[in-house]
Each structure stands twice: as structure tokens, then as C-alpha cells.
């Protein structure tokens, strides 16, 4: 069955190590888009960190969507208008902010347009996230936060050995209640239980009248597992973590070697 929808992770997948889309990857995506294949960028980034790449790929069309915050939001590619959202509330924020302090790791919380940290010693990974995506960063004490805010996701972050130890101490009841996954060795993402890239790609595919066998997904990290498990064709990047390589049907080149382009050329354009 022909592939009619391609879901592509961004960091470590679409983008090379310099956070760029290479000419070969750009050409492959534009070719499949021009023949009617739907291309969905599915990322942990906020919309502000996706806009530039949607424009670069020619995907800012009225009928085009993107998945942001690891599935918490489905947004129009043209202007970021939300068409579906699964959000955490302020009580969730309070719980995980306190838990992060108990576990001894840094914490940040994202609204649709801003990122907040309550850590006076702002983590270098928080600074990097703000720089990489372009989302405004605010230091705000918990007591000064607006209790009416809702959050696509909150995050714990620190060097891998510290973060992994903290993860091992998160209560099982919490792991069952929320969608919790790593998006890199340094970032643990916490979302509404229903939010992940897999459920959101499934929703878009069904609205387009497509089956999972007409969907291809490409990714490299733990937060890509759900969409790789859903897709009819699942592709792991050559730079993927072991759990991704284990479940994927195929492995392509790394993100430094045009891996996304190679996958599209082999499984969509040649067929």
C-alpha cells in the first residue's frame, strides 16, 4: 500500500547536527509534498521553534498541520492555531515542580508561548532549549505564577546520570497517570496521559481517511516510539537510541548523512 502520510521527528532526525535541513532532505520532502503526500513534522518543540522549518520546506499551507510539544498540541502550519490540545493544569505544575525539588533536578514548564523556570540557578539545558527553539524564557517563583495557566508539557532536566537516577525514583502511580518520556539524554517530558506522537498521528490519519499502513514515521528518541509503533512503515535514524532501533522495521542513515532523504527516496519516491 502506498505511503500517503509521513511523520518526521525534528531534532536528531529532520535536522542535522547543526540544526539545519540539508538540500537533499529538503528536496525529498518537497517532491513527496508536490505529489500529494502529507508531511507532518512531529516534535517536542513549541510552534515558535518549528515555524522557520515549515516555511523552508514549503509546508505552510492551509491544509497542513504540525504536532508540537510531543503531541500535546496539533497546530495549523500557517499560523500555529491550535486545532486539538491536551494540557496539564496548574495543580499538575505544582506537583511536578515540588517533585523535581525532592528528586534534586531542574524543572521547566511550557505554555503555548512561554517557558517558565522556578530555579534560581537556571539550568544550562533550559537556556539551551530557549536558544534553540526561540521560546521566551521567564524566571518565575512558584508563588508568582498565574494559577490560571495551562501547560502543554512540563519537564525535568539535568545531565544524564542525575536525570536517570531521578527518573528511577518517580512513583509508579505517577508513571501510570501521565505520559512521561525522554526526548534526549538531558530532557524528561511530562504530558497529559493521552498525549504522544502516536495518538496524534493516528488522529490526523483517521481524519484524512488513511489507515496506519499508509503512514510512515521516522524518529530517533524515546519520544518517537509511539508514532513508530503506530506507523505501517517505521524508520529509525542511524543515530537512534537502542530502543528505537529495536522496534523500527528499517534503519536509515544518521541525521548527518541525509537519513530522512534516503528513507523517503527508498520507501516513497521509488515506489
How far apart CA 154 and CA 188 sit, in angstroms, is 9
What value does the mean pLDDT of the chain take?
A: 97
Domain termination residue (choose one: 169, 191, 213): 191
pLDDT of residue 230: 98
- Planar angle of CA 56, 203, 37, nearest 5 degrees: 40
Asked if residue 167 and residue 77 are part of one domain, the reply reads no
Instruction: Pick out the chain residues at pLDDT < 70.
Output: 271
Q: Count of CB atoms within 10 A of residue 203's CB?
A: 15
Nearest-angstrom CA–CA distance, 125 and 28: 32
Q: Looking at the structure, do residues 137 and 212 belong to the same domain, yes or no?
A: no
Which of the listed residues 143, 164, 191 is the one where a domain comes to its end? 191
Question: Does residue 98 sit in the same domain as residue 183?
Answer: yes
pLDDT computed for residue 256 by the predictor: 98
Are 29 and 98 found together in one domain? no
pLDDT in tens, 68-85: 999 999 999 999 999 999
pTM: 0.95
CATH code assigned at 112: 3.30.1240.10
Three-class SS state of 228: helix
Give the pLDDT score at 1.
75
Segments forming the whole domain that contains residue 224: 5-85+195-269
Number of neighbouring beta carbons within 10 Å of residue 47 = 25
Q: Which residues are catalytic?
A: 9
- Rounded to 5 degrees, what angle do the CA atoms 169, 148, 170 make? 5
Give the pLDDT of residue 135.
97
Question: How many beta carbons lie within 10 A of that of residue 104, not counting itself?
Answer: 12
| The pLDDT of residue 189 | 98
Count: domains in the chain: 2
| The predicted structure's pLDDT at residue 63 | 84
End residue of a domain, out of 138, 162, 191: 191
Which residues, listed in sequence order, are joined to residue 181 by a DSSP beta bridge? 189
Q: Are residues 150 and 102 in the same domain?
A: yes
Element (H, E) at 253: none
pLDDT number for residue 170? 97
pLDDT at 62: 85
Amino acid at each position: 500500500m502506498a505511503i500517503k502520510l509521513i511523520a518526521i521527528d525534528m531534532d536528531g532526525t529532520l535536522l542535522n547536527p547543526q540544526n539545519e535541513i540539508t538540500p537533499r532532505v529538503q528536496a525529498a520532502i518537497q517532491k513527496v509534498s508536490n505529489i500529494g503526500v502529507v508531511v507532518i513534522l512531529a516534535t517536542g518543540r513549541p510552534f515558535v521553534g518549528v515555524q522557520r522549518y515549515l516555511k523552508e520546506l514549503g509546508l505552510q499551507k492551509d491544509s497542513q498541520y504540525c504536532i508540537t510539544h510531543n503531541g500535546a498540541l496539533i497546530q495549523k502550519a500557517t499560523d500555529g492555531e491550535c486545532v486539538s490540545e491536551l494540557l496539564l493544569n496548574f495543580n499538575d505544575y505544582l506537583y511536578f515542580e515540588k517533585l523535581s525539588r525532592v528528586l534534586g533536578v531542574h524543572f521547566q514548564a511550557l505554555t503555548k508561548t512561554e517557558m517558565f523556570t522556578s530555579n534560581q540557578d537556571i539550568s544550562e539545558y533550559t537556556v539551551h532549549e530557549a536558544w534553540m527553539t526561540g521560546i521566551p524564557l521567564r524566571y518565575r517563583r512558584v508563588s508568582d505564577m498565574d494559577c490560571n495557566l495551562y501547560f502543554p508539557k512540563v519537564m525535568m532536566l539535568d545531565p544524564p546520570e542525575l536525570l536517570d537516577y531521578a527518573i528511577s525514583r518517580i512513583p509508579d502511580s505517577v508513571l501510570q497517570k501521565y505520559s512521561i518520556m525522554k526526548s534526549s539524554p538531558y530532557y524528561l517530558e511530562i504530558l497529559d496521559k493521552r498525549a504522544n506522537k502516536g495518538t496524534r498521528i493516528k488522529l490526523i490519519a483517521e481524519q484524512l481517511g488513511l489507515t496506519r499502513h499508509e503512514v510512515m514515521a521516522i524518529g530517533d528518541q524515546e519520544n518517537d516510539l509511539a508514532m513508530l509503533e503506530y506507523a505501517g512503515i517505521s524508520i529509525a535514524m542511524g543515530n537512534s537510541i537502542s530502543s528505537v532501533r529495536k522496534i523500527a522495521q528499517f534503519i536509515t542513515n544518521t541525521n548527518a548523512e541525509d537519513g530522512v532523504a534516503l528513507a523517503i527516496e527508498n520507501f516513497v519516491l521509488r515506489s
